[in-house]
Copies of this chain bind each other. A is one copy, B any other.
Amino acid sequence: MGWSAKVSPCTVLLCVISSLLLSGVPIGAQAQLSTLPLPEHVTLGSGDLVIDQGLKVSLEGFTDPRLDKAKERFLKRLSEETGILHWPEATAGQPDFVIRTGHASAPVEALGEDESYHLEVTPGRVLLQAPNPLGVMHGLQTFLQMVEVTDHGFVVPSMTIDDKPRFPWRGLMIDTGRHFIPLDVLRQNIDLMEAAKLNVFHWHLSEDQGFRMESKVYPLLQEKGSDGLYYTQEQAHELIAYARDRGIRVVPEFDMPGHAASWFVGYPELASGNGPYSIIRKWGIFDPAMDPTRESTYQFLDRFIGEMTGIFPDAYFHIGGDEVNGKEWDANPRIQAFMREHHLKNNAALQAYFTSRVEKLVTKYHKITVGWDEVLQPDTPRDVVIQSWRGQESLAVAARQGNRGILSWGYYLDLNQPASQHYGVDPLAGAAAELTPEEQKLILGGESAMWSEFMTPEIITGRIWPRAAAVAERLWSPKDVTDTASMYRRLAIFSERMPWYGGATAGINRAMIQRMVGNADPSSLLVLASVVEPPKEYTRESLATYGSYSPLNKLVDAVPAESDTAREFNELAARIAAGKASREDFEQAERWLQIWRDNNAVLQPLLTGSSVTKDLAPMSVNLKETATIGLEALSRIGQHHSFSTSEEEKQVAALDRLKAPEAVLIDAVVPGVALLVQKARN
């Protein structure tokens, strides 16, 4: 899925502008909250709960070690958010925080388990009530997100919340196949998932470029297919327990019959070609595919699935199924003969045959199959769940057949699109909106997906977050929670708190920036970094050549997918263009543009000294030119002295050129400057 999946075309300019126009209606009390996702129902009270003395937390009703651990984690995070150490001895000043739990949750977290909670905060007391530990954990996160500092201490405002998720399947997929992502980084992401109330970690474990899970039955899978970079079964058990402690399911994915070259290095007999096979070190879609015609393939998969389902307790098991190009099948006379014999008229039919065989094996081990769009056929068994990278249309087709579905189209975080764009994608919109209410229930939710062609352990967390939290709100909060400005306000708060959510930081990676300039002052590079973005969708690969071991240590790797500064500037420019700008807006726009114009003179000499900054020279000039155009437009607007048509055409042409990627980066303030030029014309 990572490589070739296409999303609806959207130029940078259009995306940014549409994100500015997209905004829902603030819904009362919710609009004042800082939580992400927003809860279903809130009633604000008066006064607030002061927590400067700590809290006296007690567990009532059902209790188990997981709740004890949740309480400890809560107190630790509360300490981190406030700098107030937990007082071991209850004191007079400590308000009661009562957690009342109804009963146990399922031994293995089940899809659709009750995740609701009721939270009452008053100046003297907190009550958190939930049917089971899942709701308790969500309620604790809500409370933590509402902590704020005031002139009278760290407080949580008085309020009553009744909350539950809109969708039962709210996931994050991490591709650990293309780049190995160590366990500490996965744990960090699971901590952040807990904060955002996501509940499914989809662990993409095998790819052409690496087989990442230890098999004891077939040890050559990891021994020959991973460069030594794989998870042991013991580590998988640990991560599953870690996730369960946070109310998160773990769904493993072993991609087949395609995307499987790494399997064939140790077991070439599984493949449809002649081999020998080696780990693929490039990105793309490749020919190797399992041989669906041999019984030995299914005997292998039977034992393999038996082993893996013994490790992963979740009821769902993902078999991939995407992007088989069929070239090995076409080239193999034995496979062609098999197809004729079995009346399989094309490769899609052959894959359907393979899927149905594998699905039976998954069922044999009492698991439910999940697969990407391609596994859906008219006769696909009704319990197979379709994960769609193609869009709501696929899910609608599936639902009409009675198959359940999960949306990932629109939630591909590796495409570097703005949070607002992901936020605007609803699993029940588009073709899915046409479904009957009963059919709509078959759409279980969605999953953000992070494919890892351009992700290393130091990059990936800052690229997943905070945008995955915007998707989390789409999947948790009521359908009418769609105010983009509110989302961005709360996303900034979420980002600020990320150091306490698993030790991650959002925004520009400063250590990477410092590395780029050696021991020099990085300030001018940071100025450039603050307004550039990585290219969107799949254009990066066309701008330079990359493979598994390409260093990812340039500016494109150190900046977030979406520039906050550029977004704010573009919003400001939109206000100016709409005639709604304040004097401060004009001043701020001018200040920014001056900084960007003048930065080039300081930055240029710095760039030449380092092999990883040299190619930024033209981009720094581009920013200067963009800013110069912006300042000219601003000045014309201020003087009510319009551009002539020819002047405007010249500026528009220049901006068109400046819009093009340079050093594998885009100048993200071009859209705002374009608005200023347009305004200066009128």
Query: Which A residues contact B (CB, under 8 angstroms)?
Result: 34, 52, 80-85, 87-88, 148-154, 227-228, 456, 458, 492-493, 496, 499-500, 503, 511-512, 514-519, 548-549, 551-553, 557, 608-612, 614
| Alpha-carbon distance A521/B219, docked complex (angstroms) | 53
Q: Give the residues in chain B near A34, CB-CB below 8 Å.
A: 519
| Alpha-carbon distance A673/B612, docked complex (angstroms) | 40
| Alpha-carbon distance A85/B80, docked complex (angstroms) | 33
Contact A149 B610 (CB under 8 A): yes
Contact B458 A549 (CB under 8 A): no
Q: Give the residues in chain B near A552, CB-CB below 8 Å.
A: 83, 85
Q: A80-B458, A553-B82 are in contact. Are A151 and B88 (CB under 8 A)?
A: no
| Alpha-carbon distance A83/B228, docked complex (angstroms) | 19
Q: Within the complex, which residue of B84, B503, B512 is in contact with A83, where a contact is CB–CB below 8 Å?
A: B512
Contact A611 B551 (CB under 8 A): no
Contact B610 A150 (CB under 8 A): yes
Q: Give the residues in chain B near A152, CB-CB below 8 Å.
A: 611
Q: Give the residues in chain B near A515, CB-CB below 8 Å.
A: 81-83, 149
Q: Give the residues in chain B near A503, CB-CB below 8 Å.
A: 503
Q: A80-B458, A82-B551 are in contact. Are A612 and B496 (CB under 8 A)?
A: no
Contact A612 B149 (CB under 8 A): yes
Q: A227-B88, A519-B34 are in contact. Are A151 and B609 (CB under 8 A)?
A: yes
Contact A148 B496 (CB under 8 A): no
| Alpha-carbon distance A515/B614, docked complex (angstroms) | 37
Q: A85-B551, A87-B549, A557-B83 are in contact. Are A518 and B148 (CB under 8 A)?
A: yes
22 residue pairs bridging A and B, Cβ less than 8 Å apart: A52-B551, A82-B551, A83-B458, A83-B515, A83-B552, A84-B551, A84-B553, A85-B548, A85-B549, A87-B549, A88-B227, A88-B228, A148-B518, A148-B519, A149-B611, A149-B612, A151-B608, A151-B610, A151-B614, A153-B611, A493-B519, A499-B511
This chain's copy number in the assembly: 2
Q: Within the complex, which residue of B149, B154, B608, B611 is in contact with A517, where a contact is CB–CB below 8 Å?
A: B149
CB A512 to nearest CB in B, in angstroms, measures: 7
In chain B, what residue has the closest Cβ to A154?
B611
CB A539 to nearest CB in B, in angstroms, measures: 22
Q: Give the residues in chain B near A228, CB-CB below 8 Å.
A: 88
| Alpha-carbon distance A456/B80, docked complex (angstroms) | 10
Q: Give the residues in chain B near A154, CB-CB below 8 Å.
A: 611
Q: Which 9 A-B pairs have the closest CB atoms?
A: A83-B553, A88-B227, A499-B511, A84-B551, A149-B518, A149-B610, A153-B611, A85-B549, A496-B514
Question: Other CB < 8 Å A-B pairs besides A83-B515, A85-B552, A492-B519, 19 of them?
Answer: A80-B458, A82-B551, A82-B553, A83-B551, A83-B553, A84-B551, A85-B456, A85-B548, A88-B227, A88-B228, A149-B515, A149-B517, A149-B518, A149-B609, A150-B518, A150-B611, A151-B614, A496-B519, A499-B511
Q: Give the residues in chain B near A612, CB-CB below 8 Å.
A: 83, 149
Which of A83, A458, A500: most chain B Cβ within 10 A? A83
Q: Give the residues in chain B near A517, CB-CB below 8 Å.
A: 149
| Alpha-carbon distance A629/B148, docked complex (angstroms) | 38
Q: Give the residues in chain B near A149, CB-CB below 8 Å.
A: 515-518, 609-612
| Alpha-carbon distance A552/B79, docked complex (angstroms) | 10
Q: Give the residues in chain B near A610, CB-CB below 8 Å.
A: 149-151
In chain B, what residue has the closest Cβ to A86?
B549
Q: Give the residues in chain B near A52, CB-CB below 8 Å.
A: 551, 611
Contact A609 B150 (CB under 8 A): yes
In chain B, what residue has the closest Cβ to A226?
B88
Q: Give the residues in chain B near A456, CB-CB below 8 Å.
A: 83, 85
Q: Give the residues in chain B near A496, CB-CB below 8 Å.
A: 514, 519
In chain B, what residue has the closest Cβ to A519?
B493
In chain B, what residue has the closest Cβ to A512?
B83
In chain B, what residue has the closest Cβ to A608?
B151
Q: Give the residues in chain B near A557, CB-CB below 8 Å.
A: 83
| Alpha-carbon distance A612/B611, docked complex (angstroms) | 44
Q: Give the residues in chain B near A87, CB-CB below 8 Å.
A: 549
In chain B, what residue has the closest Cβ to A83?
B553
| Alpha-carbon distance A87/B229, docked complex (angstroms) | 12
In chain B, what residue has the closest Cβ to A81?
B515
| Alpha-carbon distance A531/B609, docked complex (angstroms) | 31
In chain B, what residue has the closest Cβ to A511?
B499
In chain B, what residue has the closest Cβ to A184?
B503
Q: Give the residues in chain B near A82, CB-CB below 8 Å.
A: 515, 551, 553
| Alpha-carbon distance A512/B517, docked complex (angstroms) | 27
Q: Give the residues in chain B near A549, CB-CB below 8 Å.
A: 85, 87
| Alpha-carbon distance A512/B496, docked complex (angstroms) | 10
Q: Give the residues in chain B near A492, CB-CB below 8 Å.
A: 519
Q: Give the residues in chain B near A80, CB-CB below 8 Å.
A: 458
Q: Give the residues in chain B near A551, CB-CB below 8 Å.
A: 52, 82-85
CB A167 to nearest CB in B, in angstroms, measures: 28
Q: Give the residues in chain B near A83, CB-CB below 8 Å.
A: 456, 458, 512, 515, 551-553, 557, 612
CB A190 to nearest CB in B, in angstroms, measures: 17
Which of A34, A456, A512, A551: most chain B Cβ within 10 A? A551
Q: Give the residues in chain B near A553, CB-CB below 8 Å.
A: 82-84
In chain B, what residue has the closest Cβ to A612?
B149
| Alpha-carbon distance A676/B552, docked complex (angstroms) | 48
Which of A82, A88, A153, A456: most chain B Cβ within 10 A? A88
| Alpha-carbon distance A208/B150, docked complex (angstroms) | 35
Which of A52, A493, A611: most chain B Cβ within 10 A? A611
In chain B, what residue has the closest Cβ to A496?
B514
Q: Give the residues in chain B near A148, CB-CB below 8 Å.
A: 518-519
CB A525 to nearest CB in B, in angstroms, measures: 12
In chain B, what residue has the closest Cβ to A456?
B85
In chain B, what residue has the closest Cβ to A278?
B89
CB A148 to nearest CB in B, in angstroms, measures: 5
